[in-house]
Structure 1
Amino acid sequence: MRLDVEVNGVTLKYGAFEALHNISFRLESGKICGLVGRNGAGKTSLLSLLASFREPTAGSIRIGGEDPFENARIMPHVTFVYAEDLRGETENVQGMLEAAKRYRPHFDSGYAEELAQRFELPMNKPVHELSRGMQSALNVTIGLASRSPVTIFDEAYLGMDAPTRELFYRELLDDQARHPRTVILSTHLVSEMDYLFDEVIILHKGKLVLHEGYEDLIGKGASVTGPSKAVDEFVKGMKQLHAQQLGDTKSVVVYGKIADETRLAARERQLDIGPVSLQDLFIHLTSEEE
C-alpha cells in the first residue's frame, strides 16, 4: 500500500505563538526522510499534524490524497512513535505487542517477537518497570513491526545506548528494503543517522529551510581551504555559510554546486575543495540568521 504525504501551506499556532509557518513539501512513498532542526524548530509540531493529533491552523495535509484527520480509512495506516511517559503503564511487553496488533492492520507479530528478542525485551515484565532505553526499544519494536505505509519516529532512540541504536538503524534499513514505506525520522543525532536518509527536511524557527535528496544536498556543500587571499578571491559571489582562519590559512564553507571546471581552477590556485557533512550544513544553515 503506497501512501504519499503532501503538506501544502501549513501553519500551526498555539494561541498567539506560531509554531509552523507556511510549510509545504511532498514525500513519495518508499523513502526514508530525515527531519532535522534545532530545539524548538517545530519538528514535533509538524509530526503531530501528520499523525492527526491536531489540525493545522491554515493549509492542508493529504496522506494518500485524503485529509487524514479523523479519517478512518487513513489513520490505521499511520504509526507515530515518540517518547511517551510510561510510568503508569501496568501492561507487560507481550500485552503491548498484542494491543498494537489489534489496531494496526499491517502488524507482523512474528517480526515483533524477533525484534523483542534482539532488543532483549522481557516479555512478561510490566512496561513501567522497564528502563527508559528498554521502553524506547519497545516503542521502536512496535513501530517497525507495524509496517505502516507511513511510519514516523520522533527521536525514538531516547535512552538507548549506542549498540541498541545501531541495532535499530540496521533493522530499519533491512525492513525498509523488504517492505518499503514512507518513514520519517526526527533526530538530533545527525552525524550518526545521516546514512539512513534518502531525503532531508530542515526546519528552523518554524520555517522550512530546505527539502532535498540527501545526495543532492551533500553535493551542494563544500569547504574551500588554502591561502587566505586566494580563498577570498575564489569564494567571492558564492553563498558562504562559515569561515575560519588560522594564520594565513583560511577555510570557508560554501553552499551551492561547484562546477568541475571551477574545481580544476581551485586546484591550480592550490586550494583544496573538500566535502561537508550533513551535520555541518545543518549547523551553518540554521545559524545563518544568528
Structure 2
Amino acid sequence: MTAVIEVQNLTKRYKDKRALDNVSLSIEGGHIYGLLGRNGAGKTTLMSILTAQNFASSGDVKVFGEHPYENTHVLSRVCFVRESQKYPEDATPRHAFKAASLFFRNWDQEFAEQLIKDFQLPMKQTIKKLSRGQLSAVGVIIGLASRAELTFFDEPYLGLDAVARQIFYDRLVEDYSEHPRTIILSSHLIDEVSNLIERVIVIDDGQILLDEETDAVRDRAATVVGDAAKVEAWVSGREVLHRESLGRVASVTVLGKLSATERAAITADGLDIAPVSLQQLIVRLTQKAASAKAEEVN
C-alpha cells in the first residue's frame, strides 16, 4: 500500500517549547487511524502542519508524495475538521455546506442531507449562534459528506452528547466501508473510538510514543490480580506499567504478551488475568514515559 503521508524528523518550536520533537512516521492509505494522546501532546500541531495550516520549524512533510503548502493538487484532496474552524459572521450551516460542495470534488449532497436530519441541525440559524454541539455537527457533516481522500477529524465530538457521538461513529464506519479512504481521528476519548480505528498512533510531549496496529496494541499488556505474593512472583522480571495493592491483594499491569501456557499456569495458581483496555494501556505508557523523562531531568 502506498503511503499517503510521509514525515521525517519533523520539529515545531514555539519560543522555548517544542510542540513536536523530531517526529517521523508513515501513514498508508485506506485505513482509519487513531491519533491519540493528552491535550497539548502535539496532535493538533501535527495535523495543522500536514494540512498546510501551520509551518514546521524543521523536517520534511509530504502528502500524496508532495509538499502540501500552497499545493492545490494536494489540498483539494484533504479535509481537516477542527474545533476552531472560523466562518463568516452571517454564515448559516447551509452556506458552509454549499462552500464545501464547491471545494470537495467527492461531495455527496444526499448524504449531507441525511446527516443534517440525523443530527437535527437547525439550518436557518447563523453558525455563530449555534450551540457547541451543533457547531461540532457542522464540522462532522462536512468531514463525512466531503468523502475527501484524506480526512482529519480533530476532536470532532466536542459538545456532542452520547447519542450524537454514537451517530457520528456509526455513520463514519458505514460510509467508510462503502467509500474507503484514509481517515485520521484525533481523540482523547480512547475507549469510545477504540473499535473504530485500525492503527494507533500515540503522541506524547511532541514525540511518537506508539505506532502499531490496534489488535497488536491490545495484546501488549495484561493485568494479573490476586494474592500479592503470588502476583509479585509471576510479574518478576517483567516490565511493570502499573501496580496497585489493597491488603494482601495486588493488581499489577505488565507489558508483554502472555503465552497460552503462562495464562494457564497463572490461572492454576489461583490468580485472575484481566484484559487491559486500549485507554488503560495508553494512559499507563504515557505515565511511564513521563516518569522516565522526569528521572532524566533529575
- The TM-score, its normalising length taken from structure 2, stands at 0.93
Question: 1:89 corresponds to which letter in structure 2?
Answer: E
Q: Measured at CA, do residues 97 and 87 of structure 1 come closer, stay the same or move farther in structure 2, by a change above 3 Å?
A: closer
Question: 1:275 corresponds to which letter in structure 2?
Answer: P
Per-residue Cα deviation, 1:5-27 (whole angstroms, up to 9, x for no partner): 22222111122321111112222
Corresponding residue number in structure 2 for 1:225: 225
Per-residue Cα deviation, 1:88-136 (whole angstroms, up to 9, x for no partner): 6311221111101111111111211111121111222221221111111
Moved more, 21-30 or 208-217: 21-30
* Alignment partner of 1:158 is 2:151: no
Q: Measured at CA, do residues 210 and 85 of structure 1 come closer, stay the same or move farther in structure 2, by a change above 3 Å?
A: closer
Unaligned ranges ≥5, structure 2: 292-298
Distance in 2 between the 1:231 and 1:194 partners?
A: 29
The structural deviation recorded for 1:156 is 1.1
Corresponding residue number in structure 2 for 1:185: 185
Aligned-pair identity (%): 40
The structural deviation recorded for 1:257 is 1.5
Distance in 1 between the 2:147 and 2:8 partners?
A: 26
Question: 1:171 corresponds to which letter in structure 2?
Answer: R
Per-residue Cα deviation, 1:143-202 (whole angstroms, up to 9, x for no partner): 100111110010111111111111011000001101111111111211222111111111
Moved more, 165-174 or 83-92: 83-92
2:3–2:26 Cα contact (<8 Å) kept: no
Corresponding residue number in structure 2 for 1:91: 91
Corresponding residue number in structure 2 for 1:13: 13
2:225–2:272 Cα contact (<8 Å) kept: yes
Question: 1:272 corresponds to which letter in structure 2?
Answer: D
Output aligned runs, 1:62-73, within 5 Å.
62-73=62-73
The structural deviation recorded for 1:87 is 7.9
1:228–1:250 Cα contact (<8 Å) kept: yes
Distance in 2 between the 1:15 and 1:69 partners?
A: 22
Distance in 2 between the 1:253 and 1:197 partners?
A: 23
Distance in 2 between the 1:113 and 1:12 partners?
A: 39
The structural deviation recorded for 1:84 is 2.3
The structural deviation recorded for 1:55 is 2.6
Indicate the SS of the match to 2:143: helix
Corresponding residue number in structure 2 for 1:129: 129
Distance in 2 between the 1:129 and 1:152 partners?
A: 25
Moved more, 40-49 or 257-266: 257-266
Corresponding residue number in structure 2 for 1:27: 27
Distance in 2 between the 1:86 and 1:48 partners?
A: 15
1:3–1:182 Cα contact (<8 Å) kept: no
The structural deviation recorded for 1:48 is 0.6
Corresponding residue number in structure 2 for 1:40: 40
The structural deviation recorded for 1:3 is 6.5
Question: 2:248 corresponds to which letter in structure 1?
Answer: D
Moved more, 146-155 or 86-95: 86-95
Please tell me the root mean square deviation across aligned C-alpha atoms, in Å.
1.5
Question: 1:28 corresponds to which letter in structure 2?
Answer: E
Moved more, 162-171 or 48-57: 48-57
Output aligned runs, 1:1-290, within 5 Å.
4-84=4-84, 89-288=89-288, 289-290=290-291
Aligned length: 289
Indicate the SS of the match to 2:73: coil
Indicate the SS of the match to 2:30: coil
Question: 1:94 corresponds to which letter in structure 2?
Answer: R
Question: 1:250 corresponds to which letter in structure 2?
Answer: A
Moved more, 15-24 or 217-226: 15-24
1:29–1:182 Cα contact (<8 Å) kept: yes
1:228–1:249 Cα contact (<8 Å) kept: yes
